[in-house]
Structure 1
Amino acid sequence: MSDLTTTPITAELLRGALDLERTEHGVLPHRLPARARAQCTDGQLAMAEAQPSGVRLVFRTRATVVELDALRTKMAYVGAPPRPDGVYDLLVDGSLAGQSGVTGGQVHVVDMTTGATETRPGPVGTVRFADLPDRAKQVEIWLPHNEITELVALRTDAPVEPVGQGSRRVWLHHGSSISHGSDAASPSTTWPALAASLGDVELVNLGLGGSALLDPFTARAMRDTPADLISVKIGINLVNMDLMRLRAFTPAVHGFLDTLREGHPTTPLLVVSPILCPIHEDTPGPTAPDFSTLGAGRLQFRAAGDPAERVAGRLTLNVIREELARIVKQRSADDPHLHYADGRVLYGEADFADLPLPDQLHPDAATHHRMADRFAELAFGAAGPFTARSD
């Protein structure tokens, strides 16, 4: 390996991360800044924001060999089937040119019945891409969307230089595990990554599995992040956790949007309600694991709430859609750059019949592609809120 040169991994080589933490091994990309992380000690949030969905190394080089040392942290759930290994996507001049993974790493084990956790240590691994075109090119390494990834060393057989942002607009998106990329095939094929490619924009993905909860610190992080386009997909996690009632939901949405507007007063802002999820359309949360299918190697989820309690203000997806539409209509009278989209346009009843949610909650890889196509048409199409206009 003496013919490979090591390049320090710095923020100027990374896109999609809001913070870069120095660790004993190297650097750990974060999708929330340190100040936000300090305001919440929830383990689910800590895991989700450190999983680098949408984060990629971007550089120009003539290298034909690229190696990346990384320490992964995989998730494992007691009694559930093993989670798939993370995938690294290598893009050359925007086209997929290779996929690989790393071995070793840590395993974070969660017992969903008790809440107990344990982290089992493991070694640093290496992902290697060879036989790349011997010419000047832009290389992107999309990090696994479903594994915490500490970056240890970058090695190449030719010099590496950062790539400027260029003229592409920045799209800042926030949502749940569906936006995070749960059950997508790879990091560049989550629906936001695919939609960003179709819309020719730079993605900053704040899809946070289990943690799209209208948290004020997330709104402040978005407020302070440069962006040309913003979308927020609100709803499913609030039902999953049975976190609040309608009385709290409405002002929380207003507060979240108020904070975004403090930093982005006229930026196109699209509010998207939940995609179809039959178990929670009219049944409140919480969402509970359904262990009855584990014998067949599958984990599914069920709605544990009581539909009769909707009158007491418990949230369902239909309640949330109706209220989000009302809030956006009210606010858009004074905010012409605010828009609303019903999430069932991305995935609705006909889609559920064709591509059902395997675990009753998360879309599969094919559905990520379908949702990306639909979002690109909705947002970046001729009449879409994200369409570039000369005026």
Structure 2
Amino acid sequence: MASVSLLLVSFGASSSVSIGASGGVATERAARVLRDARDAHARRGAFSVVSHNILAPVYAVPGAFGLPGDVLAWPRRRERLCEQLAACDADIVMLQEVQLSTFMPDFDELCAACGYEVALQDDEAKRPYANAILYRAARYELVVQESRSRALIVVLRERARAEPVAPAGAAAAERRLLYLANVHLTKGSSEQLTRLMQLRSLFRRLALHRDEQRALHARAARAAAAANWSRTSAPREKTGDPLTAPLFESGVVAGDFNSARKSTVYELMRDAGLTRFPATTRRPGGAPAGSVRAFRTGFFAMRDVYQTVRPRWGPFEMSHATRALLDYMWASADLDVLETMPRCYERAHAARFAEPTAPRGRDERPPQTSACADDERGEANARAAQPRLVLPSADGAYASDHLPTGCTLAPRVR
């Protein structure tokens, strides 16, 4: 897998490199801009996350999406996906629909080049695809991994920093716990309640893991405090012992929710875990239609990163071949959103959305059938005004029927 040599791209900065008489100067300037942006983010303890449903090869058969087999061939799409993910250079990558039988050989070169360790979902339903989370091993260590039927949960602990300067507003010995959930909820317009229950179950598990980590931290702190009394009068927390340092926690939930913004699933996320079942649906336990019941997830309050900070090129209003918005990234409220959208995709996005809507031609493929048409009906007018973006694309620019989501996050200055 070759990295992109003529374009320096990352969440921190992007700059075209001109080749010619002044190519060396341009390259040096671009590298300096990239380095300065990364340093500024590093001082805040920032980290970047990308999520992408990469379209499992089992679904990309010849003729699907109106494309020939050579365009949908997995080797070609895999190469493009790996190039784009390497260019993003994210600290954490969440992938949906990875082919279990070939995932490691398909992505081992990417993982080696970017320094990723892999957490792979153990799918008891025996589907040929699953979710995967790639994380930068030099920065994070794995604490917990749990596979759910429609999600992969991972808890990461940030490794001790080598640099003497901690992020602004952070304690010198701060080591953040990061709770991640990579979701791929059930599709289908009639499955809204199923998706809601999947999400509620997921958040209960996340809250449980958070409570367990807090209990472990408290026990370790008590044991360290007891040891201090017997060995020295100097409090160990002032020496930077990570076990007695304050516990800082954040959460990121991302993936393919198969739900539009005007859905109960989205409301559950948006309303900080306080949601009511729709009055027209039968709630779990056989309660009659028309009854409602509020519940709380018990996890962190979450924010849609794209509603917090929009990409520079415009609003993010579609993510799927149906022109629906099904993919989201949510971050806990203690995190500042520095920017959204992986920049390695930004230029292509901006160009596509800037094009005027062309009349339908013979070579243009019909739109795909939506997986959740009922949820999306309220957004049809807004999407109709957007220029047509065909996924996957015949030119290879988009190797999946989903667009990626991504952002750079940083702990909020206290």
For the superposition of Structure 1 and Structure 2, which TM-score range results when normalised by the shorter chain?
Answer: under 0.3
TM-score, length basis structure 2: 0.24
Looking at both structures, which has the greater relative contact order when contacts are Cα pairs under 8 Å and sequence separation is at least 6?
A: 2
Structure having the higher strand fraction is 1
Task: Report the structure number with the largest CA radius of gyration.
Answer: 2
TM-score, length basis structure 1: 0.25
